[in-house]
Structure 1
């Protein structure tokens, strides 16, 4: 049944591409420009450095300043702490990729891996400060967007720990004697993942452009739908459609969710580690809802923003 559905879907997609080749060309070009100008420069260097750090067994050096805090507040092992940090600083889908890799290499347990997938995959501060914040009205302070997206990680962590049975940090696995990869191997591994990400960005950019041409009831619904599909295209559409608080609210919501493109990118990097993409989607929806609630509360009870 599932295979039959995807067969029909693939045939329908091919026919759609043949009927509107100009839209397909423009969408593919937009996706590749986005990949080459934003995603590769912001993600590939971090991915290469992360691979090298893991290969050299230098995780403990990087996490040393925050090790105790992450153990106490998030109940993470050393390798789990590194996964959390890499996902937070590098952005989608670096956290999920590191989580999957560490599970494959038995650096973290399967239970901690499932818990980590709920809290380690987020938009990077570089993306929020360099792109998302630039699309918001100047009347909305950047800190409101950052707090609304990152603060929900704490209640999500509590809920995920309870669900997966994490009561204390998992025992750290010794890194001595592990085989190291060369720099060339780390580079090629990172480039392979980047090509997968680029393919998904191109596909969903084409889909977003087709949806943008549909006669939907209103531009607001179209903009939010684009954000649910692909966050970069959606954020731009939201900024051109909404104003003031509504613009910041929807930008925060779709960014926290990560878009369907981000979900498929995550699915491509978790491979066969035993992680559930369905669980991941549920946690991202929960995160998006918390972001919306927090944004509304902060904008209402802190008299820093003009209404409108």
Structure 2
């Protein structure tokens, strides 16, 4: 059943590409420009450095300033703390990729890996302060979006700990010599992941451009659809279709969810570790719901705005 669905989907996609080649070309070019000008410069250096840090056994040194907080409040091991920090600072899908690598190298347990996948994969502060902030209405403060995207991590962590049965701080597992990679291996492994991410960005950029050509008379509907397909195109479309606080609300939701493109990128980096993409999508939906609730609550206090 599943294979039949993807066969039909592949045939439909091919027909669409042949029917509208100029749209496909433009969408592919937009996706590759985004990948080459934004994603590669921001993610690839972090991926390489992450592998080198693990090989040098420098995780504990790096997370030392926040180690106590993450151990106490999030019940994470040293490697798990680094996974959460890298996911928060580097953006999609760096957190999921680090989580998968650490599970493959036996640096974190399967239980901690599943827990981390629920809370470690988010847009980076650079993306929020740069691209997202540039598309916000002047009436929506940037701190409101930051709070609504990052604060839901706290209740999600409590829920995920209960669901996966984590009752105390996870123990740091020793690094085996055979798990350490050379610099060349780290470089090639990171480049392979970046090519996969680039492919998904290109495909979903094509899909996003096709959606813009759909004759829907209500631009708000089209903007929301775009937001849940591809995050960058969606944020721009939402900012043009909505104004004021309603625009800020939808931008926050789109940013927290990450889009189908972000889901497929995450799936490409976790499949070898045995992590569930269905669980990941469920946690992302819950994160988006919490973002909506928090945005509505905070926007009720005009003094803060």
The whole-number CA distance in structure 2 between the counterparts of 1:246 and 1:81 is: 35
Q: Which residue of 2 aligns with 1:86?
A: 86
Does the CA-based 8 Å contact 2:105-2:179 persist in structure 1? no
The whole-number CA distance in structure 1 between the counterparts of 2:82 and 2:224 is: 33
Q: Unaligned stretches of 5+ in structure 2?
A: none
The whole-number CA distance in structure 2 between the counterparts of 1:130 and 1:93 is: 18
How much has 1:176 moved relative to structure 2?
6.1
How much has 1:57 moved relative to structure 2?
1.1
Please, which moves more after superposition, 175-184 or 105-114? 175-184
Q: Which residue of 1 aligns with 2:48?
A: 48
TM-score by length of 2: 0.97
Alignment pair present for 1:268 and 2:268 = yes
TM-score by length of 1: 0.97
The whole-number CA distance in structure 2 between the counterparts of 1:108 and 1:302 is: 44
Q: Which residue of 2 aligns with 1:124?
A: 124
Does the CA-based 8 Å contact 2:43-2:90 persist in structure 1? yes
Alignment pair present for 1:111 and 2:111 = yes
Q: Which residue of 2 aligns with 1:208?
A: 208
The whole-number CA distance in structure 2 between the counterparts of 1:189 and 1:177 is: 18
Q: Which residue of 2 aligns with 1:252?
A: 252
Q: Which residue of 2 aligns with 1:291?
A: 291
The whole-number CA distance in structure 1 between the counterparts of 2:272 and 2:47 is: 20
SS in 2 for 1:301: coil
The whole-number CA distance in structure 2 between the counterparts of 1:202 and 1:118 is: 26
Q: Which residue of 2 aligns with 1:144?
A: 144
How much has 1:111 moved relative to structure 2?
0.5
Q: Which residue of 1 aligns with 2:99?
A: 99
How much has 1:74 moved relative to structure 2?
0.4
Does the CA-based 8 Å contact 1:42-1:126 persist in structure 2? no
Alignment pair present for 1:235 and 2:231 = no
How much has 1:217 moved relative to structure 2?
4.2
SS in 1 for 2:37: helix
How much has 1:272 moved relative to structure 2?
2.3
How much has 1:295 moved relative to structure 2?
0.8
1:56-71 equivalence runs, <5 A: 56-71=56-71
The whole-number CA distance in structure 2 between the counterparts of 1:9 and 1:175 is: 43
How much has 1:179 moved relative to structure 2?
4.7
The whole-number CA distance in structure 2 between the counterparts of 1:183 and 1:135 is: 39
SS in 1 for 2:92: coil
Q: Which residue of 2 aligns with 1:220?
A: 220
Cα RMSD (Å)? 1.1
How much has 1:182 moved relative to structure 2?
2.1
Q: Which residue of 1 aligns with 2:77?
A: 77
Does the CA-based 8 Å contact 2:149-2:291 persist in structure 1? yes
The whole-number CA distance in structure 1 between the counterparts of 2:178 and 2:155 is: 35
How much has 1:178 moved relative to structure 2?
5.1
Change (3 A) 1:192 1:176: closer
The whole-number CA distance in structure 2 between the counterparts of 1:182 and 1:272 is: 20
Summarize deviations over 1:72-91 as a string: whole Å, max 9, x none: 11000111111111111100
**Matched residue count:** 305
Does the CA-based 8 Å contact 1:231-1:259 persist in structure 2? yes
1:130-209 equivalence runs, <5 A: 130-175=130-175, 177=177, 179-209=179-209
The whole-number CA distance in structure 2 between the counterparts of 1:112 and 1:210 is: 40
How much has 1:244 moved relative to structure 2?
1.0
How much has 1:185 moved relative to structure 2?
1.6
Summarize deviations over 1:3-57 as a string: whole Å, max 9, x none: 1111111011000100000100010011011111111111111111111111111
